[in-house]
Structure 1
Amino acid sequence: MKAESGFTLLEVMIALAIFAVLASSVLSASQFVVRQSGTLQERLFATWLADNQLSELRLKAPPAQGRQVLRQRFDQREWRLEQVVTPASAPRLLKVEIAVRLVDGGPVLHHASTWVRARDE
């Protein structure tokens, strides 16, 4: 009798099971990367919006003290900027804090603060 070489059914099933486990772990990792890149993009846009708002405040007349909620449309989404202006320890400065989040809720994606000159009295 001549012996034939090849894979048995059991060996093929084990190889398929190993491949299935590896494929599912790769799919899970890729889903995590896609989710993280979306979050990273939101944080980047929130940083840009906060920096733009702070730059505008530095260029304009000094802002009034208090809390203000602004809405801006950027990247086909609505963003909510919460701006708080308070007096700083130095009499000629105001402290401005801005928190940015998406309008539909969720956590603050970026928080920034700076000082701007106060109104001349």
Structure 2
Amino acid sequence: MTSLSARHRDGFTLMEALVALAILAIAGAGLIGATEAHIDQVRGLQNRVVAQWVAENRMAELSLQGGTPTDGTDRVDMLGRSWRVEVEVRPSDDPDLSMVNIGVTPVGARGAAAKLTGFVDRQGGSA
């Protein structure tokens, strides 16, 4: 025969269950916050990679055009997003080369997600 006090020790008390639920709720909220931060970091990395591709594509286009590239701003759509591409051309020490700075920014955002500096041969072909 079990006594009354022995039966009460078989399970959790209401207070113990509430404390356990509170700990789980706090841990769950922390896990959700960490997951959101990770998703934001991955999204930022994805934006920088795509912006770098846009910049490299623009550099290749300028290299293939031949002649002296010109300054300008353009809009490019890539992977479902719109990007603002700013091209700045400067002379270099070599008269056959132009130094090209390319900045790529998501449309509606501030600050360039990627910057690329390279040289374009004024006769056609990249350096």
Q: CA deviation at 1:119?
A: 5.0
Q: Secondary structure of 2:111's match?
A: coil
Instruction: In structure 2, list runs of 5 or more residues that go unmatched.
Output: none
* Residue 118 (structure 1) aligned to one of 106, 113, 122: 122
* Paired letter, 1:42: N
* Paired letter, 1:77: R
Identity across the alignment (%): 31
**Does residue 93 in structure 1 map to residue 97 in structure 2?**
yes
Tell me which residue corresponds to 2:67: 62
1:28-77 deviation line (CA, Å, top 9, x unaligned): 00111111111111111101100111111122213334x21011111222
* Residue 19 (structure 1) aligned to one of 18, 24, 28: 24
Equivalent residues in 2 for 1:7-46, closer than 5 Å: 7-46=12-51
1: CA distance, partners of 2:68 / 2:75: 17
Tell me which residue corresponds to 2:57: 52
Instruction: In structure 1, list runs of 5 or more residues that go unmatched.
Output: none
| 2:62–2:69 Cα contact (<8 Å) kept | no
* Paired letter, 1:43: R
* Residue 113 (structure 2) aligned to one of 109, 112, 115: 109
| 2:55–2:116 Cα contact (<8 Å) kept | yes
Q: Secondary structure of 1:16's match?
A: helix
2: CA distance, partners of 1:64 / 1:39: 30
TM-score norm. by structure 2 comes to 0.86
1: CA distance, partners of 2:12 / 2:30: 26
Aligned residues: 119
* Paired letter, 1:93: L
